[in-house]
Each structure stands twice: as structure tokens, then as C-alpha cells.
Chains A and B, each alone.
Chain A
């Protein structure tokens, strides 16, 4: 019997300077590459990954932008960003490295409900 396809929501909450941010994106990309439906939710410090204009080369880090922008190409279409986490950091939904739908707490609760697996990285 072929197992039923399960969707995966990866919540990313690592700032862009952390290796863990790259390792979180790697999981999303790996899952998408295996044909698993993946959504991503950026919340807490994870929303900082989406800021444009990151000159990460200045601190000798590879930019995350290429990995982020690869998400839609890998079929990760549903990208969400926590409105509350943005507001806490004085940010507004808008010009990010990646198109993301701003969601409030009730919408996040429903996202968590509707995915078979949720992984926080």
C-alpha cells in the first residue's frame, strides 16, 4: 500500500545569521524535492530571514536569498509570515525576499491544525 502523502509545515524562527536558518530551509527544500507538500511559516526571529538587502557577505556568510527564492521553484507555494512577530519587530508585510501571506494567531492555529506534520526549526 502506498502511504498517503502527508503535508509538512516548517516553522522557521532562526535569525538569518544562524547556520540553523540555512538548515531549516534545507529541510523544506529536501521535503519539496521528495514531492511532499510543504508550507512554510516564518515566525518569531524567523521573520528576519525575509528582510531584503541583507549583505551577508560582509560577515562572510552565504546569502540565504537564493535558498529562500528557490522555495517556489521547488513547489513550496504556501509561505506565511506571522503578523504578530512582524509587529514586534516594527516590520510591515510587504517587500520581502519572498512573497509571504501575513497571518494572525487564529490563522496560525488553523494552519497547525490542517497540516499532518509540523516541524519547528
Chain B
């Protein structure tokens, strides 16, 4: 079964962990994740600049590893990301910002990607509402 999973809350919200645990369970159960979509404050998970104390869970790192290890399609809403200072190289160039803080495996794209995922998945589950 194909799942589309959206996350709306940032790394400091329990939803960021719930969504990850759920996504891991989807794959462990033999199902597919057709797309992950990060909207609103969840775009902060795509930033590589966060530094967590060593004895605390680094959710941005865990999400990145999960997406890379399973070669998942992970889309970050570009409008939400720009507003919150999450930029890849191309956007940092375009808006003349001194640094880019996101990149592979995350893709910056539009809300249409979520709409498309909602249309084509067997189940769509949203976290962090």
C-alpha cells in the first residue's frame, strides 16, 4: 500500500518524531512511501545548521538518514522554506543570501507536490496539525 506522509510541525514538536516512527513502521510493514512532504515549521528539519546537545535526539539528522537510506522522495515546500530561512544553493544564489543550509536528499518544490501525493497515494497521513 502506498502512503503519502505530510509533516507540518518543526523539530521541537513531538510530531516530528511521531511522523518518523510512523514512516519507519510503514516501510517495516512492507508498504511504500510515495512521498514525504514537509510544510509549515517542518521545513526546519531540512536545515543542516541545527546543533543538538550530544545526549539529545537529533531529529533533523535522523530524518536525513532515513530518507537517504531508503531513497525516499522528500519534498520541502519552497514558499514555507524561504519564509523560514531554509534555502538550498540555488535559492541562496537567487535571493543573495550568504549561506545555503539545505540540499540533498531534500528537494524544494511547490504545494502541487503535496496535492499530487494526496491524489495518488492509497492513504495520506498528516502529522503536526
* A contacts, CB < 8 Å to B: 3, 5-6, 8, 19-20, 23, 26-27, 30-31, 33-34, 36, 117, 119-121
Contacts and interface: CB of A to CB of B under 8 A. Distances in A.
Nearest to B121: A117
Nearest to B84: A19
Contact of B126 (A5, A36, A119): A119
A74 to B, nearest CB: 12
A26 B115 CA distance: 11
B118 A8 contact: yes
20 contacts: A6-B118, A8-B115, A19-B83, A23-B40, A26-B111, A27-B39, A27-B111, A27-B114, A30-B110, A30-B111, A30-B114, A30-B115, A31-B111, A33-B112, A34-B115, A34-B116, A36-B119, A119-B126, A120-B126, A121-B129
Interface string B79-91: 1100100000000
Contacts of A20: 40
Interface residues on B, range: 10 to 19
Contacts of B52: none
Majority DSSP secondary structure for residues of A touching B:
mixed
B124 interface: yes
B129 A120 contact: yes
A23 B80 contact: yes
Nearest to A20: B40
Looking at B79, B83, B119, B129, the one whose CB has the most chain A CB atoms below 10 A away is B119
Question: Ordered nearest first, which 5 A-B pairs have the shortest CB separation?
Answer: A30-B111, A31-B115, A117-B118, A120-B129, A34-B115
B8 interface: yes
B120 A3 contact: yes
A6 B123 CA distance: 12
Contacts of A34: 112, 115-116
A26 B118 contact: no
A10 to B, nearest CB: 10
Nearest to A29: B111
B43 to A, nearest CB: 11
Nearest to A33: B112
B18 to A, nearest CB: 15
